[in-house]
Amino acid sequence: MTTNVTQLAATLASLAALLAEQQPAPEPEPEPAARRLPNRVLLTVEEAAKQLGLGRTKTYALVASGEIESVRIGRLRRIPRTAIDDYAARLIAQQSAA
């Protein structure tokens, strides 16, 4: 029985030494970053909504009411990137004035 215990202890010691020598496992690749918005002057309503953190329907309502400037190109509706910044600045100014 003593030899079995001695062999087991020797095996465990050699396994521990092997584990200590082993390189740590590489860390898993990080999740791909969220898709960045393209660096364009005119954005779709959906892209503008995403940048503002609003829903598509709310953004269309803001466009329809004139609160967010937009342009039509044929049948397409586009929102200038500056219009998003202007809208956000107006919101901040209104809230800080109140």
**CATH number for the domain that contains residue 47:** 1.10.10
Q: Which domain holds residue 72?
A: 38-95
Question: How far is 46 from 43, CA to CA, in rounded Å?
Answer: 8
In a domain, 50, yes or no: yes
In a domain, 12, yes or no: no
Q: How many separate helices (H) and strands (E) can be counted in the chain?
A: 4, 3
In a domain, 45, yes or no: yes
Are 77 and 63 within 8 A, CB to CB?
yes
59 burial via Cβ count (<10 Å: 0-12, 13-18, 19+): buried
In a domain, 17, yes or no: no
Q: How confident is the prediction along the chain (98 residues), in pLDDT tens digits per residue?
A: 677 888 888 898 888 888 777 777 777 777 666 666 558 899 999 999 999 999 999 999 999 999 999 999 999 999 999 999 999 999 999 998 87
Number of domains in the chain: 1
pLDDT of residue 75: 96
Quick count: other Cβ atoms within 10 Å of Cβ 6?
A: 10
